[in-house]
Chains A and B, each alone.
Chain A
Amino acid sequence: MLPQPARPERVKADMGGLAAALDYDAQLMVRVKEGDGASFAVLLEKHRSPVIHFLYRMVQNQAVAEELAQEVFLRVYRSRGTYEPTAKFTTWLFRIATHLALNSLRDGRNERLQDSLDGDSGEPVARQLSDKQPSAETAMVNEVKVEEIRQAVAALPEKQRAAVLMHKYQEMEYSQIAKILNCSESAVKSLLFRAYETLRARLAHMA
């Protein structure tokens, strides 16, 4: 059976119990393995934005981020038959996402697509601001600010960048980041320590 988009009410109802279960996502994935397409739609609904946002901050290109996110969820669906709930679902999910993002950055696909999708990738920075309707001046200031943040994050080495994004925006624990990046917890601490030091030095004037 092909997955169908879940109705929002159904998703909300399902999400209500998420806190109760330790890893409800893994249970949903087991159901997907058993042929329940609706569970896949629930997983997609819950993780779509976090995955796209993470990929966007990694590759800093919306079109590429969405293409990679499609690949992430496609791989999740393809792997349903062999899925074993041995780890947290999000660990598995972000491991795929990180792997794809790092590959994309390394093979320069990002730059190539950047050229071809320039109109798309260069979405107005103002769209990314937290203020809903800023004045022209505020928008310009924020545009500069966000551009600085983007550049500061982009300047980080790939693994440091991934670690910071997962720690800051996905609020993941060190142990989970370590599993995703396939390194030790102390290595993650070291990555984060150096990354935050760099960001502090580069962004301190903005505070």
Chain B
Amino acid sequence: MNCPIGSEEQLELLHVYCAGERNTPETASLARHLEVCAACRELVAGQQAVWSVLDEWKPPEASADFDRRLFARIEQEVSLWNRLLAPFRPLWVRLTIPVAAAATVAIMVGLIVDHRPAQPPLGPVELAQPEQIEHALDDMQMLHDFNTATRADAANTKM
């Protein structure tokens, strides 16, 4: 491989190698190069030394009440928004919302009921109306009268 010194393109590979990665073909190739290149060995050693020095810089831990303060700020912000928006919600809006919600629920219930599968139709039921009964009785009476008259005519004829 080409000597990576001065090549920003090879820098990533050098950093990967310094970070301890030795198992890729690229780092293996770099390792072979390091065996024959003193300048690169020096550079890698210098880089690793800088990193180990940087490792000694430990930042302090976060304050114990960091989360509490953050959640308090969030809560404050949420309630602030609610307070800011409150004057812009007139009474009729505040009343309208629950009424609209109730109406929506009622409409939804209505739609659900309306969309229930239709009950299978019952067999045809014929209900006799009073007029029909009257007509039937009249017809029967008329037939009876007709039969009586027919019989009487037949008897007269035989005689």
- Give the shortest distance, in Å, between A25 (CB) and chain B (any CB): 17
Q: Which residues of B sit under 8 angstroms from A206, Cβ to Cβ?
A: 49, 53
A193 to B12: give the CA distance in the assembly, Å. 9
Surface stretch bound by A, among B32-40, B54-62, B103-111: B54-62
Which chain A residues in 109-130 approach chain B with CB under 8 Å? 123, 127-130
Contact B70 A70 (CB under 8 A): yes
Binary interface profile of B, 54-95, with partner A (CB < 8 Å = 1, else 0)? 111111111100110111011101100000000000000000
Q: How many A-B residue pairs have CB under 8 A?
A: 105
Segment at the B interface, from A16-24, A84-92, A184-192: A184-192
A44 touches B60 (CB 8 A): no
Inter-chain contact A5/B67, CB cutoff 8 Å: yes
Asked if B47 and A200 sit within 8 Å, CB to CB, the answer is: yes
CB of B47, distance to nearest CB on chain A (Å): 6
C-alpha spacing A44/B71, complex, angstroms: 11
A200 touches B50 (CB 8 A): yes
Which secondary structure dominates chain A's binding surface?
helix
B53 and A149 contact, CB distance less than 8 A = yes
CB distance from A17 to the nearest CB of B (A): 23
CA distance A167 to B47 in the complex (A): 13
A159 interfacial by beta-carbon distance below 8 Å: no
Pair A49/B62 contact, Cβ less than 8 Å: yes
Sample of 11 A–B contacts (CB below 8 Å): A3-B74, A48-B62, A70-B66, A70-B69, A70-B70, A142-B56, A153-B57, A168-B54, A203-B49, A203-B54, A206-B53
- Give the interface of B toward A (CB within 8 A): 8-9, 11-12, 15, 19, 46-47, 49-63, 66-67, 69-71, 73-75, 77-78
